[in-house]
Every structure is written in C-alpha cells, then in structure tokens.
Amino acid sequence: METVHLLSLGCAKNTADSELMLGSLVRAGFEISSNPDEAQVLLVNTCAFIEPAKKESIDAILEAIESKKSGSVGKRLVVAGCLAQRYGAELGAQFPEVDIFVGTGNFLELPELLRRTERPEIRPIPYPGAAHLLPDAQMPRVRMGYPWSAYLKVSEGCDHRCAFCIIPRIRGRHESRPIEDVVEEAHRLAEGGVRELNLIAQDLTAYGRDLSPRSSLAGLLERLARIDGIRWIRLLYCYPNFISEQLLATIAGLERVVNYIDMPLQHADDGVLRAMRRERSTDALRKLLDRIRTAIPSVTLRTSFIVGFPGEDDRAFSRLVDFVREQRFDRMGAFVYSREENTAAHDLPDQVPGHIKRRRRAELMEMQAQISVEKNQDLVGREIEVLVEGAAAGRARRLRARNSGQAPEIDGITLLSGEAEPGEIVRARVERAMTYDLYGRIRDASAQS
C-alpha cells in the first residue's frame, strides 16, 4: 500500500479539488502521509492565477524534486492543478523528474495514472485548453482543515471575460451543480460534524442560471438553511452583477446565512473598469453597495482591488483611494496587477512600472488598516458569537476563534479567554481590538451550541 503526501497551493477552490484528489486515491487503496519524506508519492496541487502564485508553485515543484531525489527508490512526483493545465507540455519538458501531470479536468484519473507509471515511457500530459471537473455528492472526499468547517463548491468555470484574468482559459465556461446534488453533499457534511459551510465558486452569484429548471443562489441558500447541524453559511466569490434583490432579502431573512458578502470589485475608476472589461461603473458600484447595506444593515463586506492596471494614472488611482475611504469596507485586499500572457490586458499600452504598483498597493493597504482598526474598535464592549477553533498557537491560555464576520484563512481571528471545546459556537464579549484581530472573553460556557 503506497502513501501519498499532498501540498495544496492557491485558493479555497483548489483546496476543494485537493480533497477530491485525496478521496479518489484513498478509495483506490492509497494512504495519506503528513510527512513528505516517508511518502512514496508526492502530490503538488498548483496555482497559476498570477505571477507570484506561479512562482510559488514552481518553487514547490523544485522542492519536491529534491525530496524525490533524496528519497527511496521508486518515489514518484505528481504535479496537478492550474499550472499543469496551463503549462503542461512546457513543464513536462522543463521537469523530466515529474512522473505525472494532471490538469483541472482529469485529476480523478490519478489512481490509474499512478499504476501506469510502472511503465516510465507513459507520462501523461494534460490535454490543452480549458477544462474543469464538476464535483458531485458521490465523489469521495478527504477533507483538509478543521472538521467543523468546510468549503462547498457549487459551480465551476466562469463566463466573464475580465481583461486581467486567465481563469476562463484554464477552467472553462460556467457550470452549476444540480441543486439536489449540492444539498445532498451538504447533508453529508453536516452528518460528519460540519457547522460552517463556506460556499465557493469562480462566480458564486451566477449559480443556477444555467440549470434546467433554472435556479438561483437564493434558492440554494433556502434549501441549505434547512439542514440540521449547519449554523453558519457564508458566501465567497460573489460577482457584483448578479447580486439581486431576491438574494439580499434571502441573506437578510435566513438566520443561518451569515451577513457576510465577499465581492471583488477590482477598481473604482470608470476608465480602468472599462479597460478591465468589468460590467459596472463607479456610480453603479456605489448604488449596489447602498442597496446591500440597506437590505442587510449589519453586513460585513469584503472586497479586493487591483492596482497598477495598464493605463491607471495618478488620477485613476486617487479615485480608487477616495472610493475606499468613502465606502469603508470591513475587509479589503489589494493586489498588484500581474501581466499574464493570453489575457486581453497583456498587450495594452501604458503598462505601470513595478515600483509604482507596489507603492500604490502599500498606500491603499495602509489606509485600509486604519479603517479596519476603527471598525474593530467599534466592537469593543459588545457580545458576539464565535466559532472556537482550538488553542491559539503560542498564546498561553488563549483560544483561537472566528466570528461570523471573519472568514477562514483570509480574515482576522478572535482570541479568547475562557473555556470551550473546538467546534463549539459560543458568545464572547470583545475586550480589545487590533488592526485585524479581536480579543475577547467567553461570557457563558452554557451559551455554547
């Protein structure tokens, strides 16, 4: 029986793919190892969204190659995911030490391909072009991370053609899972102890539009909110164009759907938005944000912006800064524009120098840090509901937790005094606020649920 060690890079959507890879391998008789030195198979699930992600993936492949060379005879290396899908042939020529490449559409073939590598001349390369594998509830899945929190992928691919984005060329067109299939998987997760569902997709708000009969994200939320055991349902990766009044009313009206919307806006200058091929003007974005806050007054809004897009001059960047100052987002990320081949923006004129892009990002994040600490300070003295994750690393007598406005991995945390078991949802009083994290004390252990 062979053992497999997995390194999963990139976003939560990649994590969901990694869990399916592990599920297929375990079903085929492989065992999972947390130690790469002891594993017979090294599996790297890569990301290729922007240049830093590609570099991280290449570095991980190089490290895995060294581990393979220093390991036992017969040790094998698999490279999977977006980088393999996008550059499979080139990677095959560059890294002959890699035994198997699988892309975003054929990674469930791994057990069969690993058996085939007993014949070294057969080294499959991903088929070219865009591809995705749409999950279904029958696929075995080995979950990573905390047992009470899960990512649930409800669709794959994207129909938008943003000028900066390579994802449609890797993952392909948008495709929704049937609503009954998503609900069935959610039931299984709840039966396994999951309390928090984080819904993910390349374009979450487009869910159901391609189904027959037609459905919607609002309809899916209504079904998921009926599942016993699920306490928090969170929306990640919402595209602004499809945030309807029905969806907002559903979020506001369902107790188990947390008031949290992750909605990347990318910029706030009309000229830059047009060049990005985004489908909203700055004025339309203001109106949308007003609608969201009116419908859900306690909403936590997370967004992200790209700085240094071709043609972004000082005036355009100033408009973005003013917009962020005006809107005071609860959570915000800023990314330096990455010039990706095979995207519409690659050959645009007026490319912004790297040092200017980095300076602009630093300025934007510095302003957001001040907004974040002020918003956190507003919570001091208030009681909030938190999901306990366990002992805080390096913090004696502190528990690590998250409130409903803190999504896993991308937002801050809440550090607690008091006693509670991992996976419990308890009430705590906020005592101190930092830039991104909160400190609190559990108010009543009997409040856990």
Q: Do 175 and 304 share a domain, yes or no?
A: yes
Max distance between CA atoms of the chain, in angstroms, equals: 66
Q: Do 221 and 368 share a domain, yes or no?
A: yes
Is there a domain that residue 133 lies in? no
Is there a domain that residue 136 lies in? no
Q: Do 277 and 371 share a domain, yes or no?
A: yes
Q: Do 216 and 352 share a domain, yes or no?
A: yes
Q: Do 416 and 370 share a domain, yes or no?
A: no
Say how far apart CA 348 and CA 14 lie, in whole Å: 30
Domain boundary among 116, 138, 163: 116
Is there a domain that residue 83 lies in? yes
pLDDT at res. 447: 46
Q: Do 32 and 81 share a domain, yes or no?
A: yes
Say how far apart CA 144 and CA 151 lie, in whole Å: 10
C-alpha distances in Å from residue 246, one per residue of 205, 217, 258, 273: 12, 9, 16, 26
Q: Do 163 and 252 share a domain, yes or no?
A: yes
Report yes or no: 296 and 259 within 8 Å, Cβ to Cβ.
yes
Domain boundary among 357, 377, 397: 377
Domains held by the chain: number: 3
Rounded average pLDDT over 365-371: 96
Say how far apart CA 101 and CA 110 lie, in whole Å: 9
5 SS3 class: strand
Q: Do 414 and 369 share a domain, yes or no?
A: no
Residue 316 neighbours by CB distance under 10 Å: 19
Q: Which residues contact 41 (CB under 8 A, 6 or more apart)?
A: 2, 3, 4, 5, 30, 75, 76, 77, 78, 114
Domain boundary among 328, 350, 377: 377
Is there a domain that residue 236 lies in? yes
Considering only CA atoms, which of 317, 410, 343, 358 is closest in space to residue 49? 343
Q: Do 393 and 409 share a domain, yes or no?
A: yes
Beta bridge partners of 80: 45, 102
What's CA 317's distance to the chain center, in Å? 26
The pTM assigned to this predicted structure is: 0.92
Is there a domain that residue 235 lies in? yes
Q: Do 347 and 424 share a domain, yes or no?
A: no
* CATH number of the domain where residue 34 is located: 3.40.50.12160
Residue type, 416: L
pLDDT at 301 exceeding the cut of 70: yes
**Token match 């806006």: residue?**
265
pLDDT at res. 241: 87
Q: Do 23 and 96 share a domain, yes or no?
A: yes
Tens digits of residue pLDDT in 138-192: 999 999 989 999 999 999 999 999 999 999 999 999 999 999 999 999 999 999 9
Domain that holds residue 330: 149-377
Report yes or no: 75 and 38 within 8 Å, Cβ to Cβ.
no
421: which 2 tokens?
Answer: 């078991």
